[in-house]
Structures are given as structure tokens and as C-alpha cells.
Amino acid sequence: MVKLGNFLFRNRNGLFPIFYLMLFVPSKLVFHNPVTAMVIGFSVTLVGQLVRIATIGLVYIMRGGRNRRVYAEELVTTGIFAHCRNPLYVGNILILAGLGIASNSLIFMVVFLPLFLLFYQAIVMAEENFLENKFGEQYRDYRRKVNRWIPNLRGISKTISSMEFNWKRVVIREYNSTYIWMTGAVLIIVKHFYLHDEQFDLTANLPLLTGILAGLLCLYLFARYLKKSKTLVSD
């Protein structure tokens, strides 16, 4: 699993977008009513995004590794990392699971979501192998105290209130992934409008949906400008 995790870590930027494409593969439905699917799914996705925002806003951790390999300069154990060892990955899983529910795709929920979870499990095992080799007993002690996946919410309000929230870091580090999933969410809505023309009027709502996509693109480009021009700077 460690070797698989290292391979997936190196190639995740090319592999993981495939899961987003699978949201639009024709499939049997999970819910009879697409509105139910979208309400539940987008709610789960928003929870995942909030987890990521809380994590990034409270403490920075180097993501992406170095030279496409697992890497860490220090062992981060504060902020949300004091309650879960992999909160960013938990956020990612919730976001994709929510989109899968919203897309109302049985094949995605039965086949591709479990595969996504397997991939992340392998990546986490590769990261844990690196962290244990580098930090030794310090990491093993942290691992004994904090769950890998299931957050321990005890004392989380104290954690949040005792730390300064860095909103600039959230904008700089999170604008790209947020744009991707929100664009995917709008396209899922378009998909439902197209497939359920007896329930929705795609033609009447297309200008609004197109406007939302254009607005998301403008926000993405603005955030990118703030980062690249160093108008907005953070760690």
C-alpha cells in the first residue's frame, strides 16, 4: 500500500480529475427525486469545504509535497490537526462524496467513491510511513492520540477560539479547488435540468446558470490575480 500511495501521490493531479468526470457518466439513480439528491449532496459538500477552510485558516501545512514526493518540514499537530490527522483529506472526501450524492449516480457511489477512498488510504499510509521515518517517536505519540480519519470534536471550540484565523491564507491556498468543485456543482445542476425536462426548464434557467459559471470564473481569476501579483500575501 505504501508503494501504491507514493505512486498515487506523484500522479494525483492527473488521476483525481478523472473522478470528477465520472460524476457525469450515465447511471441508475440513487434517489427518485433529483432535488433530494442535490440538497443532501451539496450540504455534505459544504461541510467538507468548511472543514478545509477551518483547517487552512488555523494552521498552514505544506501540501503537494516536494518534487512530487511526500515531504514535510515539520510535524503539524495544532489547529484541526489536533483533532484529526488528515482533516484536509476528510474535507476532500466529503466534497467528492457530496457531489456524488448530488449527481444522483449509483455507479459513482458504488464504484468510484470506494475507489477514491482506497486511493486516499494508500496515500495516507505512504505519508505516515514518511512521517514515522522522519519524526520517529514524536509522530508515533501523535498517532496514538489523534485519529486518522474520524475527527474527535472534544475541545474543538477551544482550539478555534484560541487561534487566529488567517483568511488571507484561505483565499490564496483554497481558491483553485473551491472553483473546481463549485463549477462541478453547477454542471451537475445543468445535468439534472437536462435529464429531467419534465421537472425543470433548462432553457429558461440557462442564462442564470451560465451567469453563475461566469461569476465563478471571474472570482477565480480575481483570486489568482491577488495571489500572483502578491496583493494578497500569506505564509
Angle of the 34-58 helix axis to the 167-195 helix axis, nearest 10:
170
What are the residue boundaries of the structural domains of the chain, listed by start? Answer: 2-163
Question: Which CATH fold topology does 2-163 show?
Answer: Four Helix Bundle (Hemerythrin (Met), subunit A) (1.20.120)
Largest CA distance in the chain: 61
Using the structure block, give the residue that is written with the C-alpha cell 474535507: 91
Nearest by Cα to 76 from 31, 135, 28: 135
User: Does the predicted model carry a pTM greater than 0.85?
Assistant: yes
46-84 as b/e: b if 16+ CB within 10 A:
eebbebbbbbbbbbebeeebeeeebebeeebeebbbbbb
Taken as a whole, the chain contains a residue count of 235
Residues 62 and 125: beta-carbon distance below 8 Å: no
Residuewise pLDDT in 10s, the chain (235 residues): 888 887 887 888 888 889 999 999 999 999 999 999 999 999 999 999 999 999 999 987 765 566 667 777 788 899 999 999 999 999 999 999 999 999 999 999 999 999 999 999 999 999 999 999 999 999 999 999 999 999 999 999 999 888 999 999 999 999 999 999 999 999 999 999 999 989 999 999 999 999 999 999 999 999 999 999 999 887 6
Distance separating alpha carbons of residues 28 and 230, to the nearest angstrom: 47
